[in-house]
Amino acid sequence: MADLTVLYDEGCSFCTRVAARLSRISGVEAAAIGSETGSVMLRDLTPDERYAEVHVVDASGRRRSGGAALPVLARRLHGGRAAARLLAAFPAATAWGYGIVSRHRALVSRLTGIRC
């Protein structure tokens, strides 16, 4: 099992591409929410709750979703520790920013070059 498993919406090409990039990081695995891995790791959530946001599950089984997943992921990025501390220090702002990006994925895709 990976140190972190990122569970993403396989129906969203932006999410799929971001997950593919994250899976290149050592110890990070990406799995579709609708996969067997997703079904097992998110078994306590309804289908709507599963697809409402991204989920990150660590090796001990602790799950963080939406904005709360961002500091965990940022810590794994090269040079991401400062960003992780900032994201964790302001959870409401991080959740707000996550919500903006998730609602405007097509625009963010064009701005970042991560094509949908």
**If we measure between CA atoms, which residue out of 28, 25, 19, 51 comes closest to residue 38?**
51
Please tell me the predicted confidence (pLDDT) of residue 115: 63
Please tell me the predicted confidence (pLDDT) of residue 110: 77
Q: What are phi and psi of 47, to 5 degrees?
A: -55, -40
* pTM (two decimals): 0.89
- For residues 12 and 26, give the distance between their C-alpha atoms in angstroms, rounded to a whole number: 24
- For residues 34 and 94, give the distance between their C-alpha atoms in angstroms, rounded to a whole number: 26
Domain annotation for the chain: domains and CATH numbers: 4-112 (3.40.30)
Residues of the chain with pLDDT below 50 are none
Count the neighbouring beta carbons within 10 Å of the beta carbon of residue 74: 19
**Sign of torsion over alpha carbons 65, 91, 15, 74:** negative
How many residues are listed for the chain in this entry? 116
